Structure formats: C-alpha cells, structure tokens
Structure 1
Amino acid sequence: MENCTIYSHYIAIEKIIPILKQHFPSAQTEITGTEQKWSQLQLKIGKSFWKKGSTFTVYYRQRLHPDYKLVLSEEPLIQNLVGMYNFFSSFPAQNPDIYNRLLHKITILNAEISFAAEPGFSDTHVECILNIAQALDGIIFSNPNSVFSDLGMYDKNGVLLLNNTGKSDATTLDVSIESKYYDKVSGDEPDERKDRTNQLLQSHGIAINTHLPRIVNESEANIRTPYEIAERVTVLSLINLVAFNSVEPTQAIQYFKQYGLWDKVTENEKDLLENPTQSKKDQATWQCEGIWVLLWSLGKAGEIPFPNHLCSLNDLDFYPFQGFNQDPNEIIQQLTQRRTDTEILDSADLYYRIDWACVNARVKGQEMAIVHPGVVYERHYALNWLIRNRDQAWDDVTCDT
C-alpha cells in the first residue's frame, strides 16, 4: 500500500468526486456519507470474479471553522496541522523563501484529503491526485514511495518543496487566502495579542515566529476558576516545602489526609511523597515558578518577573501553606478573585512564544542567554494549565510550540 495526503486552504469537497470519476469511470464506489458531505470513499478498480483488482481509498476532513490563521484548539485536524508546522519548521532551509512560504501556507490550511492505494500507486492514481491538488491549490505530504522519493512536502505539481535535509526543487509557491476570511481581521483580538507579544519580544531581542499559531480568544476561553487555582496552589505550596527539605513527606501526607486534600494531590506528587528521592525533590523545586504564576493569577503575587532568573518565593507577602494547625480549606475558600481573562491570556501568549524561541535556539544549537529556558518552560506549563490548553490535568500538561 502507498499513501499521500493533500492539504488545501480551500473548502471544495464537491470537486473531488468528479475528478475521481473522470480517472476511474468503471470503478465500484462505496461512500461513507453523501456526495455532498462524505468522510471516506473506496474505489474498487478492475475487480471481478476472477480478478482481485485494486482499491483506492480517499479520506476527507476539514476544520470545523475554516480560517486564514492556525488557532490552537482540541480539534484533531488543528492538532495535526500544528504538529506538521512544528515538524517542518525544525528542518533546515536551502531556499528560505520557499521555506517561509510553506510554513505560512500550513497555517492557512483548512482541508485534508488522504489517499491510500492498494497495492500501490499507478500512473492513473498519480494523475488523479495531482489533478485534485491543482483544483484545490493544495500541497502534498508524503512518505517515500514509488512516486514521491523523499519524506517531505510537495507542491500541487508534485515538485519537492521541502525535505528533512532542507532540499527544495520548487522555485515558487503561492499562498492565497479566500477573501471572505479577511472579514475577521478587523478587531481580531488573538491577532492583536500576538502582535503585541511579538513587539515585546523584539524589544528584548528575542526571536519571533510570525507564523506561530494564535492561542484561544477570550470568547472561547475556559480559564480555571479561583477555587480550582486555589486548591492546586495550596497543594503545590506544601509539596514545595517537601522539595526543599523543610517538611517531611510523612507530615505532608498526614496533613493532606487530615484536611481532605489527598485526592487533590496528583499521582506524580503522591509518588514523591511516598517514595521520596533527592532527584524527585530537585525536580519539584522548579515548581516555584508555577506557584508564583498561580498566585499571580489569584492576585496574591506581583507581576510575573522577566524570565531571566528563577523567582524567589521569599519575596511573596502571601503563601498558601500557613502551618499544620491551619485548615487549608479556610484559606482556599477566601481566594475568590482572579485576574481578568485578558491578563491571563496575554501572559499565556507571551510564554508560548518565548518558549518557541527557547526551543528554536536549542534545536539550532544556540545559547539562549536572554532568558532562562527552564524558567520559561515552568511558567508556560502553569499558564497552559490555567487556560485549559487541551484540558489537561496538572501532571499531563504539554508545552508544545
């Protein structure tokens, strides 16, 4: 079996079936859905009682809300496109213009058409795939096969745009956007936030990536409640004291159980308390950064300092753990305020983009002297939890860039 996938900015599902019928007029077709709205087509070609024939399967999906920008969300196709962007942005570039155009084009993609040919691609398959790519102004992703020799992205004519060595045979790549999507530009809050963040980063001499996707906007945000944040930071505040050897793990376990917070302790935190090692404690000390971020979100810490050095919790006027005789639930109940969605999303966007700069420097073997990458990562982690990025639990938070 051989595979490849077309990605397109244009939503034009109605163009695909006529092209398939043109190239395979005698094929038996099984369709999942209707001709106007389908997710899978299977063409059985040359099959008869005495002949096995071949199959050509086509899968289709599109963004729930087609756009001209890539906005992070839980939608599977969006996650795939973000992963694709990160994958290709890590490649070297022999042709910077094609490289930048390709990354830009990935951010505006709205539809995915995947092809699987059994036992493999014929000349007719290839002609059909290229005709669909041309009709949709698409680009083609493929693993090495009999048609596409390299793992990489190809233009609508099958010419290599970029492979993992940075090679590109193409001389041009159009990036066209449907005019109806420009209606969203005026007053587009996530774009304005992204522009502000990039201007701030540039003022500090930090690399930016103008094609990096936007984060969620305020109308769609589901930021954690003050109660959720207060519970989490209260647990973290005692775990932090264990990490710095100021409190015995057994004392912390007894305290959490006494006040009904044991089920709020994560599996990783329970492992630290029940099987403490210095290595685990050293790792947990990094969560000072997350504690500061969460207390900041509750209005109990000052502005998040520039991430060029570790924060000092000794500078805080308020700390959630206030002794073994103090009921933490009383403190949690008192923490009823948090900063605005705008403030939290601004910070989440900032650390998302700084973290990209740190990862980019690491991939290129460059030193990141302006900020501390570890500090950036821990703050990004806490902010992603705050904004429910992928709605992940504390132990499972990811910081994809």
Structure 2
Amino acid sequence: MPILINAFSTVTQPPAINFPCERLYHRGLDDPELMKNLDGFIGYVMQAGDGQMNSRRYALYRHIQRVKHQFAFEIEEENFNEFTSWGWQANAIILLTDGTIRNPDGDILLDPDDDIDFDVIVPYPPEALKRKTKNEQYLAKLGLHTPTHLPPVIAESEVILRTPDEVAKRALAIMLTGIQAESFRENNPINPMEFKERCPTGFAALSNNERDFIYSEQPTEQDVIDMSWKYEALLPLQWAINWQSELPFADTICDVSSLVDKGMQHSEQDISKVTLRPISELLDALDLHYRLHWITTDFRMKGEQPPASIISDVIQERHYALNWLTNFENADWDDVDTPT
C-alpha cells in the first residue's frame, strides 16, 4: 500500500532522490507556494494538542523556518527504509496523511493529540550537532552551562549567508550611527550631509531606524545608549569580513577607536573585493553566542547577575549581528530577533 509523504528539507542542496517512488512535486524557495505551505505548517505545529510551547514544538518550529525544499511523493510501504537514508541526508521531517509529523525513521515527533515522546530524535545535520557539543564543552570548562535540549544553530549545509559586500555596507552604516551617537552624547551632533560626503557607501546603507536617528534633532537618552551599544554588533561584522583579526571572548567592551579607524580606512576601498571568513568560523561564533545569550537570559529571568566573566549587552549585540549575517528569519537589520 503506497504512503503519501510530504518531506520538508532544510539543506540548500538536497541529495538526489534515488529510491523507488512516484514523485508528485518539488517546491523550492523560488516557489511562492512553499512559503504559504510553511506558514500553514507552523500554524499546525503550534495549534496541535494543547498548543503549549515545549522543546519539541520549538524544535519543529525552527526546523520549518529553515526549510529550503518541500517534496511530495508516494512510496510503497516496503520501500520506506530506502527513503530513510535520503531523509536523514536531506535533514527532513515528514508529514503523513494521519497528521503525524515524523523523523526520517518514521518515529513520531508530534501527533494531532500532542502525545509527545521526547526521546525521539529531531533531525539536525551532524556538523551542527558537533558544533553544539564543542561549544558546550568549551563553556563547561569556564563554569558556564546550558541545557542539553538547547538545539544547535543553523548548519553549513543549511545556511544562506549575507554577501560580503552586503556585510561591508552594513558595517559602515553601523559605524556612522555609532559616531552620531557619540556626537549626541557630547551635545554636538554631526550634520548628516557630512556622513554622506565622507562615507557615501555607509550612508546609503543606513536602515530606516538608523536614518531616523542620524537625522534626529533630539533623540532620547535611551536611543543614544542603544545606538552606542551597536558598536558591539559592528565588531563581529568587521571580523566576519576580515577587517578585524579576531573576535575575543565576550568579557570585554570593544575598542571603538579601532572599529572606526578600520571602517574609515576600508570605506575608501573597493568593497567588491571583500571576502567572508570560512562558514565554519562564522557558525562557530553564532552557536557560541547563542549559548552565551541563553545563559545571560536565564540569569536575568532568575533575577540574578550573570558571571563577571561575560557581559550581557556585548553578547546580545553580537548575537544580533550574527543572526542578521546568517539570515535568521530572513529579517532586515531593524527587525532581527535573538530568541534563546
């Protein structure tokens, strides 16, 4: 008896379908129907059973957000084992006609009655799990711990990075905003036209919020503070495009003068020649700061101070920048989220 399978793969280049089946359709990111289906799928996951958030529902939600391909096909029941190997390589979850969501082995991750077996494995690319383990071990040596159920971040096989020139433009825009924040603090705001003249590339890349801030006659004290902290988001972006040689541990405030010097130096050069660091390094940094952010958030929710060895605001801004760099939720700069 044939089984109708909807498979949702998160990898950018899924393996070829090499098992016997009747292919019904394939949708990629260029198909607007895929996004409609994914929105509906997320709604289904969130409303199944009691609808209460838990680690399984959260993991499925994040998986669906990362989906790059949807496949629908019919496969004979006796051939399901041949599908399994493909499903793990594609990092896919499957939706069956009985309403169950399953991993490639056919084990139930979520059913309509919300009967959840938390021991069932949620698909993650192996290298993402290795990265998670490596950072957990590193933090443990520092006396910092995160729960084992905290998932890995996006994997190399899944990520679609911002382009190098896009990162360079964003870095220059943040730099200009930070400079203006300093000038507001000194009650000597800079004429925005001076930014346009001295750094036209960065000026053109300003986000809506940044542009409003730079042109503001009297920003609030909180706005000035918030924009000043964005220097901490600038550091990982300059590091990502090799304008800084290292991204130190988040236990110190960044050297603002170094960031501005590097930014102004490179603003006069051809940014089309900018290159990104290896993807593995970028994702190592993202996974580490995701876990550090969870730690600081956990301390705050408990009404406790985090260890003196880490700085919450530095971690928050770095996480923000790295989420933008890796296209988290495909959000524009002003709308980046940093859930933990």
Superposition TM-score, scaled by structure 2 size: 0.65
Gap runs ≥5 in structure 1: 1-12, 15-35, 38-61, 68-72, 90-101, 112-130, 142-153, 157-172
Which letter does structure 2 place at the counterpart of 1:65? S
Contact 2:46 2:57 in 1 (8 A): no
1:174 to 1:217, Cα distance in 2 relative to 1, 3 A: closer
User: 1:212 Cα deviation (Å)?
Assistant: 1.7
State percent identity of aligned pairs.
25
Corresponding residue to 1:191 among 126, 129, 133: 129
May I ask how many residue pairs the two structures share in their alignment?
A: 267
In the alignment, structure 1 residue 367 sits paired with structure 2 residue 319:
no
Corresponding residue to 1:255 among 179, 182, 195: 195
> What's the C-alpha RMSD, in Å, of the aligned pairs?
4.1
1:267 to 1:203, Cα distance in 2 relative to 1, 3 A: same
Contact 1:190 1:216 in 2 (8 A): yes
The equivalences for 1:306-385 within 5 A come to: 306-315=249-258, 318-321=261-264, 328=267, 330-333=268-271, 336-369=274-307, 370-385=309-324
- In structure 1, the residue matched to 2:212 is 271
User: 1:103 Cα deviation (Å)?
Assistant: 3.4
In the alignment, structure 1 residue 237 sits paired with structure 2 residue 175:
yes
SS at match of 1:320: helix
Corresponding residue to 1:387 among 315, 320, 326: 326
Which letter does structure 2 place at the counterpart of 1:379? R
Corresponding residue to 1:208 among 146, 153, 159: 146
1:301 to 1:196, Cα distance in 2 relative to 1, 3 A: same
Which letter does structure 1 place at the counterpart of 2:205? K
Q: More helix per residue: 1 or 2? A: 2
SS at match of 2:191: helix
Contact 1:320 1:331 in 2 (8 A): no
1:393 to 1:104, Cα distance in 2 relative to 1, 3 A: closer
* CA distance in 1 between partners of 2:132 and 2:302 (Å): 24
Which letter does structure 2 place at the counterpart of 1:286? W
In the alignment, structure 1 residue 396 sits paired with structure 2 residue 325:
no
Contact 1:243 1:281 in 2 (8 A): yes
Contact 1:234 1:332 in 2 (8 A): no
Contact 2:10 2:158 in 1 (8 A): no
The equivalences for 1:144-183 within 5 A come to: 156=115, 174-177=117-120
SS at match of 1:240: helix
Gap runs ≥5 in structure 2: 12-28, 30-34, 65-97, 101-106
* CA distance in 1 between partners of 2:127 and 2:332 (Å): 27
Superposition TM-score, scaled by structure 1 size: 0.56
1:231 to 1:191, Cα distance in 2 relative to 1, 3 A: same
Corresponding residue to 2:230 among 287, 310, 328: 287
Contact 1:226 1:338 in 2 (8 A): yes
* CA distance in 1 between partners of 2:290 and 2:144 (Å): 13
